[in-house]
Amino acid sequence: MYKSGFIAVIGRPNVGKSTLINKVIGQKIAIMSDKPQTTRSRIQCILTQDDAQIIFLDTPGIHKPMFKLGEYMLKAAEGTLKEVDAIFFVVDATEKFGGGEKYILERLESVTAPVILVINKIDLIEREKVLPIIASYAEKRNFAATVPISAVDGTNVDTLIDEAKKYLPEGPKYYPADMVTDQPERLIVAELIREKILHVTEDEVPHSIAVNIEEVTQRKKDMTYIRAVIYVERDSQKGILIGKGGELLKGVGKAARPEIEMLLGTKVFLDLWVKVKRGWRNSNGAIQSFGLGVSD
């Protein structure tokens, strides 16, 4: 019997959801950063095995929104919970239970899909501390299962996948076996560039950036030209992102290019520009133009 289904991966920002997705898929699809609220869209990633196909929805971190962009991210995350066969609720083993976890558990109260508690980052704590964490969460909700993992080194990730399969219905392969995401290449390229910006900028800039791919052209047989515009909200942020003599922006391009080349299978000429679009995070039109789309 072949199984297939959809699993939402939810949790507070920065608990390792994207790291887990990338470990499961075996390559980078979801971007990773030590800054919260990295994921902005529901990114579908596909794992195909001999007995099952699992489509993972890597959702934006659930948090109380401060901008229209944040409202969209929350809608995307919460809307996902109504569409899936199971849910991974990912928590950070190094962090105490707090308001963020309480906020998510309240939103899970009306969910009918089985919820698997995924305790991530166990590689960063002593082994004897895992059981008290499991017991603490068990007092708060009756989870379908609890699996402690390390998304970084892969500990128990296979166990987690086997557990997830128990809750999938019988079904077909929705996607070809060699397909790992349903996202267009332009979106992944934009996200790879945004990831590198998150790595090199200070707290003032990260949430104010959006990356729009304006042109992808095959200029030579083995060379792809990509023009990407990085939008910020203030002139001061533009100066920070470009850096003295353009060095920071050059560094972003140098870091992003190898991963984009691996994705596209060609050499890449990456042409980066920085523009100011004031208050774009509070503009539905701007959010939609950047491919983030606000749904009702």
**Helix (H) or strand (E) run with residue 46 in it:** strand 43-48
How many domains is the chain partitioned into structurally?
2
Distance CA 177, CA 197 (A): 32
What pLDDT shows up at residue 35? 44
What pLDDT shows up at residue 77? 57
Are 150 and 197 found together in one domain?
no
Distance CA 29, CA 183 (A): 9
Domain boundary among the residues 165, 199, 231 is at 165
Are 131 and 20 found together in one domain?
yes
188 close to 181: Cβ distance less than 8 angstroms: yes
Are 147 and 201 found together in one domain?
no
Whether 56 is in a domain gets the answer yes
- What contacts 36, CB < 8 A, 6 or more positions away? 12, 13, 14, 61, 63
Q: What is the pLDDT of residues 90-149, one digit of tens each?
A: 999 999 999 889 988 998 898 899 999 999 999 999 999 999 999 999 999 999 999 999
Whether 213 is in a domain gets the answer yes
Whether 294 is in a domain gets the answer no
Whether 251 is in a domain gets the answer yes
Q: What is the pLDDT of residues 77-93, one digit of tens each?
A: 566 677 799 999 999 99
Whether 175 is in a domain gets the answer no
Are 59 and 108 found together in one domain?
yes
Q: What is the pLDDT of residues 138-191, one digit of tens each?
A: 999 999 999 999 999 999 999 999 999 999 999 999 988 888 887 778 888 888
What pLDDT shows up at residue 71? 58
Are 268 and 202 found together in one domain?
yes
Tell me the CATH number at 189.
3.30.300.20
Whether 189 is in a domain gets the answer yes
Range of the domain at 10: 3-165
Are 110 and 208 found together in one domain?
no
